[in-house]
């Protein structure tokens, strides 16, 4: 399988490291040989139809800040130029999330589908803004559009939902989908003020220097759009959601919830009556009452009730694992049967 990686930040580099470390395992367990024929970052590209030396790509990125400096294979080609010039089966889209217009991910995904490539994306922006359209494009061209790593990092939420839905119907999705806000709320329960908890989350690497997307609830909303479309079959985008973040949560709110055996969590909810994100008080014993940077997703099924999956929701290695899961799924699609 020939793949092209666009975006060589934490996730892209983690994917390269996993492909190096798991080369023999993937071949033995899944009969899958993954050849990276192109890598594009913000300063240029490296292209080789024979397959790039991933050790060298990682070293070049670390030392020079771009793969464009790789000897003999580096260039200043754009993502579109590379898409048009290489023979690849899959585009792995791992550029930054942009909720204004989804770029550059939106253009990368659309161009790849138009040129006949399957797509694996961990970029929430294009999906949050135009998921129904992108899915229609892929289906019309009989191509795969996979996005496991866009919700919950390495947590196999979408696979879990698919398994739960066999023979039953999912009627509601609830999720703690952002580790930053969950860490802040947990530490506030333990006595810190909001600003102190945020500063600690930033110090530990859970929160960005600008935590607006997390605090405002927008990151949770992006992931909820993906779940609502994929799990419940809704046709919604970010503009259809009611969104409330955690900036207004006060210590007294935390104490009031605690006094009645509850905790406050930022929860995304998708059901027949609507799709929204807001802080909610849940019982301390509820599976959604996960602590610190953990995520949890609860599915309510018509006949079998509530089912929950929990785990670490973010991280480069975890998200890269989800990309490999999607590549295996595409391999199964290409050969026409499930690999056991």
Concerning whether 162 is annotated as a catalytic residue, the answer is no
Residue 47: which region, alpha, beta or left (left: phi > 0; alpha: psi -120 to 50)?
beta
In terms of C-beta density within 10 A (0-12 exposed, 13-18 middle, 19 or more buried), how is residue 273 classed?
A: exposed
DSSP 166: T
3-state secondary structure of 49: coil
10 is in an annotated binding site: yes
* Helices 316-335 & 10-21 angle (0-180, nearest 10): 60
Cα-trace Rg, the chain: 20
* Distance from C-alpha of 71 to C-alpha of 58, rounded to nearest angstrom: 13
Known binding residue 11? Answer is yes
The strand order across the sheet containing 2-6 reads 74-75, 44-47, 35-41, 2-6, 90-93, 118-121, 145-146
List the strands of the sheet with 305-312, edge to edge.
242-243, 274-283, 262-271, 170-176, 294-301, 305-312
CA distances in angstroms from 157 to 175, 182, 271, listed in the order given:
10, 18, 17
3-class DSSP assignment, residue 331: helix
State how far the alpha carbon of 300 is from the alpha carbons of 155, 168, 194, 226, in Å. Answer: 18, 10, 32, 17
What is d(CA 22, CA 109) in angstroms, rounded to the nearest whole number? 26
Annotated catalytic residue: which of 146, 223, 262, 331?
223
Residue 162 is labelled as binding a ligand: no
Q: Is the sign of the CA dihedral 311, 315, 317, 318 positive or negative?
A: positive
Segment holding 170, helix H or strand E: strand 170-176
Residue 261 marked ligand-binding: no
Q: Is 300 annotated as a binding residue?
A: no
Question: Per the annotation, does 205 bind a ligand?
Answer: no
Task: State the DSSP H helix or E strand holding residue 324, giving kind and residue range, or none if neither.
Answer: helix 316-335
Q: Which residues are annotated as a binding site for NADP(+)?
A: 7-12
Catalytic residues: 223
Q: Which residues are annotated as a binding site?
A: 7-12, 124, 208
Q: Which residues are annotated as a binding site for NADPH?
A: 124
């Amino acid at each position: 399988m020939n793949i092209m990686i666009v975006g060589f930040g934490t996730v892209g580099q983690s994917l390269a490291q996993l492909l190096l470390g798991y080369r023999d395992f993937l071949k033995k367990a899944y009969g899958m040989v993954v050849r990276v024929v192109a890598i594009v970052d913000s300063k240029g590209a490296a292209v080789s139809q024979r397959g790039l030396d991933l050790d060298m790509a990682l070293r070049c990125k670390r030392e020079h800040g771009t793969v464009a400096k790789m000897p003999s294979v580096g260039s200043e080609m754009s993502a579109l130029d590379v898409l048009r010039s290489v023979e690849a089966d899959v585009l792995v889209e791992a550029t930054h999330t942009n909720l204004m217009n989804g770029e550059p991910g939106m253009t990368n995904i659309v161009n790849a589908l138009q040129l006949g490539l399957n797509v694996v994306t961990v970029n929430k922006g294009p999906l949050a803004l135009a998921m129904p359209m992108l899915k229609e494009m892929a289906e019309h061209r009989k191509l795969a559009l996979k996005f496991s790593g866009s919700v919950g990092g390495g947590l196999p939420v979408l696979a879990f939902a698919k398994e739960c839905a066999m023979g039953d119907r999912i009627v509601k999705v609830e999720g703690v989908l952002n580790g930053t806000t969950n860490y802040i709320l947990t530490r506030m329960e333990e006595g810190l003020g909001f600003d102190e908890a945020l500063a600690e989350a930033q110090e530990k690497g859970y929160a960005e220097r600008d935590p607006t997307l997390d605090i405002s609830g927008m990151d949770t909303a992006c992931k909820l759009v993906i779940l609502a479309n994929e799990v419940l079959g809704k046709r919604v985008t970010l503009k259809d959601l009611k969104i409330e973040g955690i900036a207004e949560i006060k210590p007294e709110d935390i104490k009031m919830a605690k006094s009645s055996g509850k905790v406050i969590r930022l929860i995304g909810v998708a059901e027949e009556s609507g799709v929204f994100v807001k802080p909610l008080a849940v019982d301390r014993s509820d599976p959604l009452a996960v602590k610190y940077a953990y995520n949890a997703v609860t599915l309510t099924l018509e006949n079998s009730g509530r089912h929950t999956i929990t785990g670490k929701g973010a991280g480069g290695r975890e998200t890269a694992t989800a990309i490999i899961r999607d590549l295996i799924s595409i391999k199964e699609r290409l050969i026409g049967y499930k690999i056991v």
